[in-house]
Chains A and B, each alone.
Chain A
Amino acid sequence: MRYLAFLAVGIIPAVSALWPMPRTLTNGSDFLILSPSFAINVDITKPPGDLLAAVAQTKTYLETDKLERLIPGRSASDAPSLKKAGVLPSLTLSLQSKSSPVLSIASEAVKDLHSRSEGYTLSIPADGSPAHLSANSTLGLFRGLTTFTQFWYSDAEGKTTYTNVAPVNIANDVPAYPYRGLMLDTARNFFPVADIKRTLDAMSWVKINTFHWHITDAQSFPLSLPDFPELAAQGAYSSNQIYSAADVQDVATYAAERGIDILMEIDTPGHTTAISLSHPSFVACPYAAPWSSFANEPPAGQLRLATPAAVNFTKEVIGAAAKALPGKYFSTGGDEVNMKCYDDDAQTQADLKASGQTFEQALSAFVGATHSALAALGKSAVVWEEMVLDFNITLAPDTVVMVWISSANAALVAAKGFSFVHAPSDYFYLDCGAGEWIGDDPTGNSWCDPFKTWQHAYTFNPLANITSEQAHLVLGGQQLLWTEQSDANNLDSIVWPRAAASAEIFWTGATLPDGSPLSGTEAIHRLHDLRYRMVQRGVKAIQLQPQWCALRPDLCNINS
C-alpha cells in the first residue's frame, strides 16, 4: 500500500523544484525542453547593468546547473517523456510600470523595507510559445529570474534541459514578510570576502534579502574604517584578516546586485573588547578574569558608556561605518550587557557620579547618541531585544528590535510597540548543538543545545502569541551563525540548506499556493532539490539524509 501511494504521488505534477514556494502557483504536468538557442529577451528601455548581469547569470545557471531529477532512476525515467516534449524558445522580461529611469536592482534592494517591490509574475507556456516574466521593479524581475532557474533539470548526459511541470503560471508572487535575513558573525572567526560572496549568492537563490553582518565583537575588529584605521590595525586578528573600505563596498555592491541589503552591526556597548587594543581608555573591564564574571564569553570588556569621550567616539565610529553603506538600517547591538563589568569599573562609577546619572540613564544617553548618528544619515537603528526588554531606555519609534534569547520574547517586544525581526536561538541559531567550545570543560554542552534542524525551524510561527493588531510589527526573520565553532572551513555545510527554512517561512507565509499549511513532509522534497542544486553551483550544502531518502523522502519519514 505504502509503495503504491508513493507511486501515485509521483504521477501528480508536484513542483519539487522551487524554494521558497511562490505565494501563487498553478502548473501542469507537461515536459518542456529549453531550446538549445534559448534566449532571454529584456524588453526594457535602458535596462540597468545589474539586471543584464543577472540575466547573463541566469543563462549560465541554466547551462551549468545540470541537476538531474531526484527520483529513483534519476533523469533516465524521463527519457520517454522528453521525446514528445515542447520546446521553450525564450523568456521575455518586462516591467509593468513604465516610469523612467529604470532603477537598478541594487537601488531597489536597499530601499526602506516597506517600499521594496519584490513581486513578479511568471508564465511558462507548455506549447512552445515564449515565457514571460514581468514585475514592477528590477528587483521583482530578479526574484522571478531566480524562480525561473529552479524549474530546470538535466538529462543524464547533460545535453537536454527540461522541466516536467509545464505550463506554469505564477501570478504576482510577493513575499509574506519584507525582512528575510541571514546573520554571519565575522569576528569570532574571520571569513574571507570570497566566502561572504559565495554566501550572498546562495542567499539570493532562496530570495533572502538581508545580510546581517555582525562584523566586530570582543575577539576581533576586522572592519577597517578610513576615519579610524587603528581599530582594525590593532583589533583585527592579522593584517590579512581585515575588511577594507573597498572590501565593504565590494560586498555591499555584490549583495545589492543580488537583491540583498547589508545590515551591518557594530555591537555596543558590550562585545567591544577588541576596541581596547587601540583605545584602552574607552573600554571597561578589558580581559578581566574570571571572564565568566564579566562577560558571557571570553574576553570581557565593554565600552565605557558613561564616559563622554567614549560615547562621542562610539557615535563617530557608528556614523563612519554606517555612512559607507547604502542601506537604511544599521545595528548598534545592545545584547548581553554585563553589570558587574561596570560596577567594578572605577572610571564608569566616577563618570556616573559626575553626571548624576543612573546606569540606565547613561545607557539611554549612550544609545541615544549612537542612534542620533544613524538618524543624521537617514538610517533606522536596529537593536537586540535587551534594549527594550531589560532596560528602560528611550528609543526612536522606528527602531527595529531583534528577538534572539527566546521565541517566547517576541510577544513582549510586540507589546512595546516596536517593529521586530525573529531571530530566536530556540529556532534559528545555526551554531547550536556543536558541543562546548569553552576549554577545560569536557562535560559541557552547547548552551543552546540541541541542534536546530531545518524541520524544527520550519515549524516556526511568526505570529504565535502576536495579536492581529501587532502583526504589522513582524518584519520577518532570519537564521544566524555565531562563529565560535565555525569559519570558512565549515561555513557552507553549517548554513545550507538549513538557512533556507526561514527564507521560505518569511517569503511563502503560512500556507502553500493550494491553501494548505506549510508542511515539512511536503517541503523536504523541495529542500533536497535545493541542496543538490546548491552543490551543483559550488556551495557545499550538507546532505540532509542518505541519498536513498533524498530520492524517496516519503519513505524516510518517522512514520513511513
Chain B
Amino acid sequence: MKLSVLTLSALLPSAFALWPLPTSYTNGTTPLRLSPFFDIKLNVHNAPADLVAAVARAKGFLKTDKLQALVVDRGASSAQAISKAKTLPSLTISLNTNGAVKSISEEAIAPIDSRVESYTLTVPADGSGAVLKANSTLGLYRGLTTFGQLWYEWDGSTYSLSAPIQISDSPAYPYRGFMMDTARNYYPVEDILRTLDAMSWVKLNTLHWHIVDSQSFPLVIPGYTVLSEKGAYNAASVYTSADVKKVVAYAAARGIDVLPEIDTPGHTAVISKAFPEYIACNEATPWASFANEPPAGQLRLADEKTSQFTAAMLKAVATMFPSTLFSTGGDEINQNCYTQDTETQASLAASNKTFLQALDTFTRVNHAALRTEGKTAVVWEEMVLDNPVTLANDTLVLVWVSSANVAAVAATGHRLVHAASDYFYLDCGHGAWVGDFPTGNSWCDPFKSWQHAYTFDPVANLTTTEADLVLGGQSLLWAEQSSRESLDATIWPRAASTAELFWSGPGGDVQKALPRLHEAVYRFRTRGVAANALQPEWCALRPGACDLTA
C-alpha cells in the first residue's frame, strides 16, 4: 500500500515550494515555462537604483539557480509536459501608488511599524505576462524574491507545474530577524554579506548585529579607535567604518535593517584593554564567580566618567548605523563583580545610590544619548525583569532566557521580540565549550531543530492586548563554537524556520513544511550558501516517507 502511495506522489506535480509560504495564495497544476526571451519589465517611474539592481539579481537567479525539482526522477517524467507548456514572456513590476518613489533601502530602515512589505503577484497559465504589484519598492522586492522561488530546471527549461498562480502576501509580524555574534569569533565581511543574501531569500528583515563582547572589540568607532586597536583579535579582524557602511547598504538594498548592539554594562571586559579604569572585575578569576563565561569584566556603571564615556561611545556608534533601533544589551549582569569592586562600591556610596538606581541612571544616560540620534532603544529581558530600570515606553525588549518569560515581559507593557534560547538559539546542543569539562554539556541542550522552532507560538500565554506587543522574532547564533568555517551549515536552513513562523504566522504544519524546507536548502546551495542537509537525500526526494509514522 505504502509503496503505491509513494509512487503516486512522485508523479504528481511538485509541491508549491515557496519559503516562507505566502499568507494568501492559489495555484493550479498547469505547466508553464519561462520564455527564452523572458524579461522583467520595471514599470516604475524613476525606479531607484537598488530596485533596478534587485531586478537584475532576480534575472540572474532565474538563469543560474538550475534547481531540479525534489522528486525521485528530478523532473524527467514532466519533460513532455514542460516542452509543450506555454511560455511566460515577462514579469511586469509596478507600484500601486503614485508619487515619490522611495528606494528599497529607505523603506527597509524605516521605523518598524511603518514598513510596507506586502505585494501581489499573478502568474497566468495562458502565456500572458506575469504581474507584480506593491505599495512600496520593499514590497516589490519581497515579491521578486517569491517569484524567484517558483521555478525549476529540466533539460534547459525553467518551468513551474503550478500555474496559474495568484499571491497576495504580507507578513504576520514586522520583525523577522537573525542575530549574529561577531565577537566570540570574528567573521569576515564577506561572510556577513553572504548571510544577508540568504536572509533576504527567506524575507528576514533584521540583522541583529551583536558586534562586540568581552572577548573582542572588532568595531572601529571614529573617535574611539583605540577600542578596536587594542581589543580586536588582530588588526585584520575589525569592521571599519567603510565595512559597516558596506554591510548596512548591502543589507538595506536587500530589505534588511541592521540593528547594532553594543552590550552594556556586562560583556565589556575587552574595553579594559584601552580603558582599564572603566572596567570592574577585569579578567577576575575564577571567572565563574564574576561572569557567565570567561573573561569577566563589566563597565563601572556607577562611575560618572565611565557612564559619560559609554554614552558618548554609544552615540558615536549610533551615527554609523541608519537603523532607528539600537541595542544597549543589558543581559547577564553579574552582581558579585560590582560587590567586589572597590571603585564601584565607592561610587555608589558617594552618590548614595543602590546598584539598581545606578543601573537606572546608567541606562537612562545611554538611552538619552541614543534618543538624540533618533534611536529607539532595544534591551535584553533582564532590563525589565531582573533589574527593572526606567525605560522609554517605546523600548523594545528581547526575550532570550526562556520562552516562559514572554508573558512577564509583555506584562510590563513593552513591545517585545522573541529570541528564546529554548526555541531559537542555533548554538545549543554542541556540547560544553569551556575547557577541562569532559562531562559538560551545552548549557541550552538539546539542539534546537527546525521542527522544534517551527512549533513556537508567539502569543502563548498572552492576552489579546499583550499579543499586540509582539513585534516578531529571530534565530540567534552565539559564536563560542562557530566561525566562518561552520557558519552557513549552523544557520541554514534552521533560521528559515523562524523566518516562516513570523512571516506566514504560527500554527504551520511541520509535516507539510519539510518538503519546502528541503527545497530551500537545495536552492540556497545553488546560490552558494552551504546549508546543512536535513535528512538523507532519499527522504528529500520523497515527501512524507521519512516522517515518524510513515
The answer to whether B429 touches A440 (Cβ under 8 A) is no
Could you say which interface size class chain A belongs to? 35 or more
- Chain A nearest CB, measured from B137 CB (Å): 33
Given contacts A439-B511, A441-B548, A449-B446, contact A484 B536 (CB under 8 A): yes
CA distance in complex: A555, B184 (Å): 14
Q: Which of A189, A287, A541 contacts B3 (CB 8 A)?
A: A287
The answer to whether B1 touches A546 (Cβ under 8 A) is no
Interface string of B485-500 (1 = CB under 8 A from A): 1101100000000000
> Among B170-178, B311-319, B330-338, B526-534, which stretch is in contact with chain A?
B526-534
Chain B, Cβ-Cβ closest to A297: B546
- Chain A nearest CB, measured from B62 CB (Å): 23
Which of A238, A438, A546 has most chain B Cβ within 10 Å? A546
Interface residues of B in 132-189 (CB under 8 A from A): 183-186
Interface residues of A in 451-465 (CB under 8 A from B): 451-453, 455-456, 458-459
The answer to whether A490 touches B446 (Cβ under 8 A) is no
The answer to whether B431 touches A483 (Cβ under 8 A) is no
> Among A356-364, A379-387, A404-412, A429-437, which stretch is in contact with chain B?
A429-437
Is A515 on the interface with B (CB-CB < 8 A)? no
The answer to whether B483 touches A542 (Cβ under 8 A) is yes
CA distance in complex: A487, B532 (Å): 7
Is B448 on the interface with A (CB-CB < 8 A)? yes
Chain B, Cβ-Cβ closest to A555: B294
CB neighbours (8 Å) of B539 from chain A are 219, 298, 439
Which of B479, B514, B550 has most chain A Cβ within 10 Å? B550
Is A544 on the interface with B (CB-CB < 8 A)? yes
CB neighbours (8 Å) of A288 from chain B are 2
The answer to whether B431 touches A298 (Cβ under 8 A) is no
Interface string of B432-447 (1 = CB under 8 A from A): 1111111111100111
CB neighbours (8 Å) of B353 from chain A are none
CB neighbours (8 Å) of B1 from chain A are 289
Is B475 on the interface with A (CB-CB < 8 A)? no
Interface of A is mostly: loop
CB neighbours (8 Å) of A490 from chain B are 486, 489, 530, 532-533
> Among B45-53, B113-121, B279-287, B465-473, which stretch is in contact with chain A?
B279-287
Q: Which of A3, A286, A440, A520 contacts B435 (CB 8 A)?
A: A520
- Chain A nearest CB, measured from B263 CB (Å): 14
CB neighbours (8 Å) of B548 from chain A are 292, 438-441, 444
The answer to whether A483 touches B285 (Cβ under 8 A) is no
- Chain B nearest CB, measured from A451 CB (Å): 4
The answer to whether B288 touches A489 (Cβ under 8 A) is no
Is A558 on the interface with B (CB-CB < 8 A)? yes
CA distance in complex: A453, B533 (Å): 21
The answer to whether B446 touches A456 (Cβ under 8 A) is no
Is B449 on the interface with A (CB-CB < 8 A)? yes
CA distance in complex: A47, B214 (Å): 54
Q: Which of A187, A435, A483, A541 contacts B533 (CB 8 A)?
A: A483
Q: Which of A487, A524, A543 contacts B486 (CB 8 A)?
A: A543
The answer to whether B186 touches A547 (Cβ under 8 A) is yes
Q: Which of B434, B442, B451 contacts A556 (CB 8 A)?
A: B434
The answer to whether A453 touches B485 (Cβ under 8 A) is no
Q: Which of A484, A486, A543, A558 contacts B185 (CB 8 A)?
A: A543
The answer to whether B216 touches A435 (Cβ under 8 A) is no
Interface of B is mostly: loop
Chain B, Cβ-Cβ closest to A190: B537
CA distance in complex: A190, B436 (Å): 36
The answer to whether B446 touches A433 (Cβ under 8 A) is yes
Interface string of A541-560 (1 = CB under 8 A from B): 11111111100011111111
Given contacts A451-B430, A521-B436, contact A543 B547 (CB under 8 A): no
Given contacts A436-B449, A456-B439, A556-B434, contact A298 B546 (CB under 8 A): yes
CA distance in complex: A67, B183 (Å): 21
Is A493 on the interface with B (CB-CB < 8 A)? yes
Is B80 on the interface with A (CB-CB < 8 A)? no
CA distance in complex: A456, B549 (Å): 34
The answer to whether B447 touches A439 (Cβ under 8 A) is no
The answer to whether B215 touches A546 (Cβ under 8 A) is yes
The answer to whether B434 touches A188 (Cβ under 8 A) is no
CA distance in complex: A549, B294 (Å): 8
CA distance in complex: A489, B533 (Å): 8
The answer to whether B480 touches A545 (Cβ under 8 A) is yes
The answer to whether A560 touches B525 (Cβ under 8 A) is no
Chain A, Cβ-Cβ closest to B270: A548
- Chain B nearest CB, measured from A538 CB (Å): 11
CB neighbours (8 Å) of A241 from chain B are 537
Is B295 on the interface with A (CB-CB < 8 A)? yes
- Chain A nearest CB, measured from B27 CB (Å): 23
Q: Which of B3, B441, B442, B549 contacts A440 (CB 8 A)?
A: B549
CB neighbours (8 Å) of B488 from chain A are 489
The answer to whether A520 touches B436 (Cβ under 8 A) is yes
Interface residues of B (CB under 8 A from A): 1-3, 6, 74, 183-186, 214-216, 233-234, 283, 285-288, 294-295, 429-442, 445-449, 451-452, 454-455, 479-483, 485-486, 488-489, 510-511, 514, 525, 530-539, 541, 544-550
12 example contacts (A-B, Cβ-Cβ < 8 A) are as follows A439-B451, A439-B510, A439-B535, A442-B454, A444-B451, A446-B446, A542-B483, A548-B214, A549-B294, A556-B435, A557-B437, A558-B432
Known A444-B449, A492-B485; further 18 A-B contacts with Cβ < 8 A: A189-B533, A220-B538, A291-B546, A292-B548, A433-B445, A435-B447, A436-B451, A438-B548, A455-B435, A485-B534, A490-B533, A520-B438, A542-B481, A546-B183, A547-B215, A557-B437, A558-B434, A560-B436
Interface residues of A (CB under 8 A from B): 2-3, 74, 187-190, 218-220, 237-238, 241, 286-292, 297-299, 433-446, 449-453, 455-456, 458-459, 483-487, 489-490, 492-494, 520-521, 524, 535, 540-549, 553-560
- Top 7 A-B pairs ranked by shortest CB distance? A435-B449, A289-B2, A453-B431, A540-B485, A548-B215, A219-B538, A490-B489
